[in-house]
């Protein structure tokens, strides 16, 4: 169910303690010469939509701009600073909890958001406001990603190209796939930006001139559908798992309560 399509009387009847929200989050940033800036938030929204249709979870509106200053040299990239991003997402989740949705999955498709979403989840957990976890789609199916693509990449590579091929094929510039591969960084191990164990770079452009990593030419519609469906299935199972937990299982037990139980 997409929460924003419904009226408040309809939601008043539907929402209750224990409801699960799927919050899609991504970015608006460069994804090489072949994918749109919307790539990450389109992936997050597509997966959250599919999972909400296949479970009892509610999908919320999408948070389209994330923490992306490392792509700032590429025209059109947008970002917010980490403190403001964390505060906004935390406030967003507290709003959901006010309406009885105290279980949240941050359906994330942007690596730059990960550590900040985990911090937000920790804050909410400590305050016992909501149980919120960050979920990164490709981390739910790493074996399949490795199986499908020989030369993968963390950004604008075959896995993201495959997801957009499935979700919004008209937005893939198929005539630029080879450009993305040849003008980007196909093999991460060949990068010269790790020196004596230290990462000497801060921005994407320091590793890839066109912002692409991996070989996006290794994508087919069949691989794309398989990847999307596998990730969507993992999200459905996660939403169902969280929804089935008792509140006592999700929120922290105090030290005093733990010691009393062990006496």
Domain for residue 16, yes or no? Answer: yes
Q: How confident is the model at residue 253 (pLDDT cuts 50, 70, 90)?
A: confident
Q: What is the CATH number of the domain that holds 139?
A: 3.40.50.10310
Length of the chain in residues, anyone?
Answer: 263
Please give the residue range of the domain that contains residue 184.
Answer: 3-244
More confident residue, 25 or 192: 25
Quote the CA–CA distance of 120 and 133 in Å, as a whole number.
9
Question: Which pLDDT does position 260 carry in this prediction?
Answer: 55
Domain for residue 218, yes or no? Answer: yes
pLDDT digits 0-9 by tens, 89-102? 999 999 999 999 99
Domain for residue 257, yes or no? Answer: no
H helices of 168-216, in order, are: 177-183
Domain for residue 205, yes or no? Answer: yes
Domain for residue 189, yes or no? Answer: yes
Least confident of 1-5, 77-81, 122-126, 191-195: 191-195
**Where are the extended beta strands (E) located within 47-192?**
58-59, 103-108, 131-136
Quote the CA–CA distance of 223 and 149 in Å, as a whole number.
9
The structure tokens listed for 228 are 């999307």
Q: How confident is the model at residue 188 (pLDDT cuts 50, 70, 90)?
A: confident
| Mean of pLDDT values over 240-247 | 92
Domain for residue 75, yes or no? Answer: yes
Quote the CA–CA distance of 11 and 15 in Å, as a whole number.
6
Question: Which pLDDT does position 256 carry in this prediction?
Answer: 57
Using CA atoms of 151, 217, 48, 144 in order, give the dihedral in degrees to the nearest 10.
-40
| Mean of pLDDT values over 185-196 | 83
Domain for residue 256, yes or no? Answer: no
How many domains are there within the chain?
1
**What global pTM score does this model have?**
0.94
Question: Which pLDDT does position 28 carry in this prediction?
Answer: 98
C-alpha distance across the termini of the chain, in Å: 46
Domain for residue 262, yes or no? Answer: no
pLDDT digits 0-9 by tens, 58-67? 999 999 999 9
């Amino acid at each position: 169910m997409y929460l924003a399509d419904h009226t408040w009387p309809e939601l008043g009847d539907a929402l209750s303690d224990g409801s699960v929200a799927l919050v899609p989050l991504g970015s608006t940033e460069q994804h090489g010469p072949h994918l749109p800036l919307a790539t990450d938030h389109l992936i997050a929204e597509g997966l959250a939509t599919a999972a909400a249709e296949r479970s009892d979870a509610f999908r919320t509106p999408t948070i389209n701009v994330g923490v992306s200053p490392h792509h700032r040299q590429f025209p059109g990239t947008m970002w917010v600073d980490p403190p403001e991003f964390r505060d906004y997402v935390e406030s967003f989740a507290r709003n959901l909890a006010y309406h009885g949705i105290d279980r949240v999955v941050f359906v994330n498709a942007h690596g730059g958001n990960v550590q900040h979403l985990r911090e937000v989840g920790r804050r909410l957990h400590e305050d016992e406001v909501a149980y919120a976890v960050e979920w990164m789609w490709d981390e739910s199916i790493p074996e399949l990603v490795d199986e499908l693509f020989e030369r993968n990449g963390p950004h604008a590579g075959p896995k993201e190209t495959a997801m957009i091929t499935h979700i919004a094929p008209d937005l893939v510039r198929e005539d630029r796939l080879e450009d993305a591969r040849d003008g980007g960084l196909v093999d991460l191990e060949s990068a010269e930006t790790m020196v004596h164990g230290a990462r000497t770079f801060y921005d994407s452009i320091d590793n890839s001139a066109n912002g692409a990593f991996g070989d996006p030419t290794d994508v087919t519609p069949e691989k794309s559908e398989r990847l999307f469906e596998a990730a969507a299935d993992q999200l459905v199972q996660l939403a169902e798992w969280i929804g089935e937990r008792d509140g006592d299982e999700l929120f922290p037990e105090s030290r005093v309560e733990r010691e009393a139980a062990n006496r």
